[in-house]
Amino acid sequence: MGDPLTPHSKPEHPPHPRKIAGGSSTAFIDDLPAARTGDGMDCDGVVIGGGTVNTG
């Protein structure tokens, strides 16, 4: 949560920075909630998952 992500653009919006705004209440990485597919971002977007990402 709070980690910066690569800037992205949306149709009719300029590229902008974004950060993870949500995360797990039970799984942590470096004492921060682990972000999951569907968690929110501060630009009203959501995290999209990938099949090759593993933690643990």
Residue 4's pLDDT is 66
pLDDT digits (tens, 9 = 90+) for 23-50: 999 989 889 898 888 998 888 888 887 7
Q: Is the pLDDT of residue 5 over 80?
A: no
- The number of residues making up the chain comes to 56
The residue extents of the domains of the chain are 1-49
Q: What is the distance, to the nearest Å, from the Cα of residue 5 to the centroid of all Cα atoms in its chain?
A: 7
Q: Tell me the DSSP string of 1-56.
A: ---EEEEE--TTS--EEEEB----SS-EETTEEPP-TT-BBTTS-B----TT----
Q: Which residues contact 28 (CB under 8 A, 6 or more apart)?
A: 34
Does 2.60.200.60 match the CATH number of domain 1-49?
Answer: yes
